[in-house]
Amino acid sequence: MDLEKYAIFKGVDDFYYEFYSVGPNGRIKKIVTFTALTDYEDEYYNLYLGDWLEAESRASDNSVSNNGDRDKVLATVASIVVHFTALMPKAVIFAQGSTPSRTRLYQIGIKSHWQEINEDFDVHGFRQAKWERFQKSRNYEAFLLRRK
């Protein structure tokens, strides 16, 4: 995807990334991590996106930054997923927002760029207590992405 995105800074390992959102509410550090989900035989990883809270020395996925750059943030997260899955080609990425509205934002991003995403990734959505191949016309509670 040829979308505007922020510069990414990698941590000491392949599971931690950060970037800065810039907008009317200032420069906000965003954290993206991949945590292995141990209950599965395959290489499943939870994608975490949060704002770094300097005063508390921790990230929060409940912060509302309202920096007016939602699409740029989502494009940056997508580029991180592409990078991570290039390093870990067998990884299955689990993505779910911390609230239903944030999960809808993920879905909007997937739908908006479905043609490009579908070229490189198999995407499944979770609805009615089961996983199914992603369909643009359905609403989902969570997503799984695997590199083709």
- pLDDT one-digit tens code per residue, 92-134: 999 999 999 999 999 999 999 999 999 999 999 999 999 999 9
Report how far residue 116's alpha carbon sits from residue 111's, in angstroms, rounded to the nearest whole number: 10
Report how far residue 117's alpha carbon sits from residue 123's, in angstroms, rounded to the nearest whole number: 8
For range 21-28, the mean pLDDT: 95
Mean pLDDT of the chain: 92
Domain segments of the chain as ranges? 9-147
- The per-residue pLDDT for 51 is 93
- The per-residue pLDDT for 129 is 96
Q: Are 24 and 83 in contact (CB under 8 A)?
A: no
What number of CA atoms fall less than 13 Å from residue 144's CA on the CB side? Answer: 19
Q: Which residues contact 69 (CB under 8 A, 6 or more apart)?
A: 21, 22, 23
